[in-house]
Amino acid sequence: MRRIRVLVVDGSAATRHILCHMLSADGEIEVVGAAADVVSARDQMGWLAPDVVVVDAALASRDRSGLLAKMMRQRPTPVVMVGADGGAEAGGTALGVAGDLAPTPSVARVAELGQAVVSRVKAAASGYLPAAPCFTGAPPPSEPRPHPVIAVGASLGGVAAIRRLLAAMPANAPGILIVQHMPPAFTRRFADRCNAISSIQVKEAEQGDLVRRGLALVAPGNYHMRLVRSAQGLCVALDRGPLVSGHRPSVDVLFDSVASALGSEAVGVLLTGMGRDGAQGLLRMKQAGGRTIAQDEASCVVFGMPQQALALGAVDWVLPLEDIAAQALLLAETQQGRSS
């Protein structure tokens, strides 16, 4: 399982050491870097591509130049603030206050804070902050807006197309949901092969999987996959309902659910395939405010599904396969900025 990549930013060497130790002790978290100031953090963000940034709130409040806010606009990343000055925000991306850490806390205080920080980091990585008590001086966290999602559908020729699409995604890509028409025995192996060539984690979806940055979920064969909201955040629901557009899983089912759950916070991508599955769903995504992309005829094995979507007026961009990943990423981040 891919661990959550964390960058720690704190002006105190002792505090940085304590934070790094607390976070690294959790098997689901990997501390990939530590910075003493915002300038160093900016330099590290580009090549470390963390999933979450843990920032000393006092340090953020002293960032009069707004460098932290600019950094977050350039590379949107969930931020967890640590400190009594919990009101500090980073360009609208701060997800909440992790706790108050004194320079030399007691052992008991370290243990208490450790649980809070680890919990907030995991919540930030999944795009959701649960209700939790904050420490003295810290306001309660506000519920973040949904993070963007890229929904992908494909059929004949889609195995190779999806592999190329995922291989082009950076480690901090928005959550990706995939329906590929494929028998049940093959979807897990397909997901595993994609995972081996991708910077993001790719897995066959399981009931209740949370949708987060750096994760692509592939619908299991013979199961519809829907995006739903839950108390934990955005997650997937699986069912063996009737065939839709002649398929289970159906691209239309996925796209319809994404349109309902996220509206403009989503990007739909329809790749090569025979038939019309996904065309109506892509139209619903567009009508809900999302942005839509179809693979062009020249790069498709079969142009059927994209052509049907074009005929319905469901497509904003028609692109060759090699350009789709970059455009989907740009649109996903732009959509989130427009709706904030």
Active site amino acids? 155, 181, 277
Residue 190, token pair as written in the block? 């397909």
Residues 61 and 63: their CA atoms lie apart, in Å, by 5
Other beta carbons within 10 angstroms of residue 266's beta carbon come to 29
Residues 240 and 229: their CA atoms lie apart, in Å, by 19
Residue 7, token pair as written in the block? 């960058």
Cα distances (angstroms) measured from residue 295 to each of 161, 168, 259, 315: 10, 15, 20, 10
Kindly tell me the number of DSSP H helices and DSSP E strands found in the chain: 11, 14
Residues 186 and 135: their CA atoms lie apart, in Å, by 49
What's the start-to-end Cα distance of the chain, in Å? 31
Sign of CA dihedral 237, 240, 241, 242: positive
Other beta carbons within 10 angstroms of residue 206's beta carbon come to 10
| CB-based contacts of 236-243 (< 8 A; 24+ apart in sequence) | 236/177, 236/205, 236/207, 236/208, 236/209, 236/211, 237/207, 237/208, 238/205, 238/206, 238/207
Residue 103, token pair as written in the block? 């320079």
Pairing of strands 266-270, 291-295: parallel
